[in-house]
């Protein structure tokens, strides 16, 4: 199948969406942002052998590509709007492309995201994606703003995707689903945006990403016993020390870590109900200049899990 036949195949599957003046098929998309809002842009790529393996169903790859980028928008408190998809394919496999679109469009439909353009090229398999979201002017949540005494709040559960990677073919279905089909916490990001001083998505591991939230001279006390754990992880990984390493150093959770004022803690149950996901208070920001991992009694615990770095590895 030729390039423009593939593009037309994609175009026919994409539903109409608001704010799209010119969509797929032209030299560029023309978009109409909501008045009084600012655009939030993010981009990421999925690389064969790094983010997925050849045996992954193409629908899972498409779903993951969308959710990984949606998670960045969620961390900014943004509403997803538009996507540009750049595909490098080794051959024009229409069935594989249909599968990829199945997963991508499923994730898009769940969040109101519209595919408006992109690029096709031949070469080693690579999926590149750019997403645009919107926030009311001046209301984007950034990584900067944490203050000593603020609480650290995380969505969902931690360590499931890392456990799936560690266990490989022995991983139970529930853990594999968290790796192949994570859920970007878009709704939670919108709920927390009204009171969060700072926020980040947990793609590289709790400790690594927490470091990005802390300003110069700041530290944090993490209560390891408060880290939210799924039943699937408890059943699959017996040793508490191993679970803690997965929860603090494992990437690809795509949960949100938010910094909230202490005064908001009384509202946590209400916020969780609005967000549709559990919210856990896992520690606080300090002015001690270091991150301390503590057990429930406040005793230090050594953790050897620095998190993911694309150029140094875990």
Same domain, 30 and 160: no
Count of structural domains, the chain: 2
How many whole angstroms separate alpha carbon 123 and alpha carbon 88? 6
Evaluate if residue 314 carries a pLDDT over 50.
no
Which of 77, 86, 76, 5 is closest to 43 using CA atoms? 86
Evaluate if residue 304 carries a pLDDT over 80.
no
Same domain, 124 and 155: no
Residue with tokens 């496999």: 93
Same domain, 129 and 164: no
* Per-residue confidence band for 305, with pLDDT thresholds at 50, 70 and 90: low
**DSSP letter at 197?**
S
pLDDT digits (tens, 9 = 90+) for 174-215: 999 999 999 999 999 999 999 999 999 999 999 999 999 999
Please check whether residue 306 lies inside any domain of the structure: no
Please check whether residue 128 lies inside any domain of the structure: yes
Same domain, 82 and 178: no
DSSP strand pairing (255-260 vs 151-155):
antiparallel
Beta strands in the chain (DSSP E): 20-22, 30-31, 37-47, 79-89, 114-122, 126-136, 151-155, 198-202, 219-223, 255-260, 279-286, 291-294
pLDDT digits (tens, 9 = 90+) for 86-95: 999 999 889 9
Please check whether residue 309 lies inside any domain of the structure: no
State which residues form the domain around 100. 3-136
Q: Please, what is the end-to-end C-alpha distance for the chain in angstroms? A: 40
pLDDT digits (tens, 9 = 90+) for 26-78: 999 999 999 999 999 999 999 988 888 889 999 999 999 999 999 999 999 99
Among 136, 168, 201, the domain-final residue is 136
- At 133 the pLDDT is 99
Same domain, 278 and 156: yes
Which of 195, 218, 76 is closest to 146 using CA atoms? 218
pLDDT digits (tens, 9 = 90+) for 119-172: 999 999 999 999 999 999 999 999 999 999 999 999 999 999 999 999 998 999
Same domain, 29 and 160: no
Which of 170, 187, 169 is closest to 111 using CA atoms? 187
Same domain, 85 and 156: no
């Amino acid at each position: 199948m030729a390039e423009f036949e593939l593009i037309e195949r994609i175009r026919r599957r994409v539903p109409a969406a608001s704010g799209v003046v010119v969509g797929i098929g032209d030299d560029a998309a023309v978009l109409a942002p909501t008045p009084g809002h600012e655009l939030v842009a993010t981009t990421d790529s999925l690389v064969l052998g790094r983010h997925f393996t050849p045996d992954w169903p193409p629908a899972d790859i498409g779903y993951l590509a969308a959710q990984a980028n949606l998670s960045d928008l969620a961390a900014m408190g943004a509403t997803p709007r538009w996507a540009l998809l750049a595909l490098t394919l080794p051959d024009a496999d229409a069935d594989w492309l249909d599968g990829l679109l199945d997963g991508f469009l499923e994730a898009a439909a769940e969040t109101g995201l519209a595919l408006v353009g992109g690029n096709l090229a031949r070469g080693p398999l690579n999926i590149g994606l750019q997403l645009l979201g919107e926030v009311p002017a001046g209301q984007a949540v950034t990584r900067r703003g944490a203050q000593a005494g603020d609480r650290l709040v995380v969505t969902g559960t931690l360590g499931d995707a890392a456990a799936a990677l560690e266990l490989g073919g022995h991983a139970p279905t529930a853990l594999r689903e968290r790796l192949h089909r994570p859920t970007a916490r878009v709704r939670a990001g919108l709920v927390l945006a009204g009171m969060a001083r700072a926020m980040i998505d947990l793609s590289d591991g709790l400790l690594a990403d927490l470091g990005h939230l802390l300003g110069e001279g700041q530290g944090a006390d993490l209560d390891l016993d408060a880290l939210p754990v799924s039943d699937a992880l408890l059943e699959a990984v017996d040793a508490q020390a191993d679970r803690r390493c997965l929860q603090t150093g494992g990437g690809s959770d795509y949960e949100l870590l938010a910094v909230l004022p202490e005064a908001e803690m009384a509202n946590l149950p209400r916020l969780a109900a609005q967000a549709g996901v559990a919210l856990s208070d896992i520690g606080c920001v300090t002015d001690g200049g270091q991150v301390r991992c503590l057990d429930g009694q406040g005793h230090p615990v050594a953790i050897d899990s620095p998190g993911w770095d694309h150029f140094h590895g875990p």
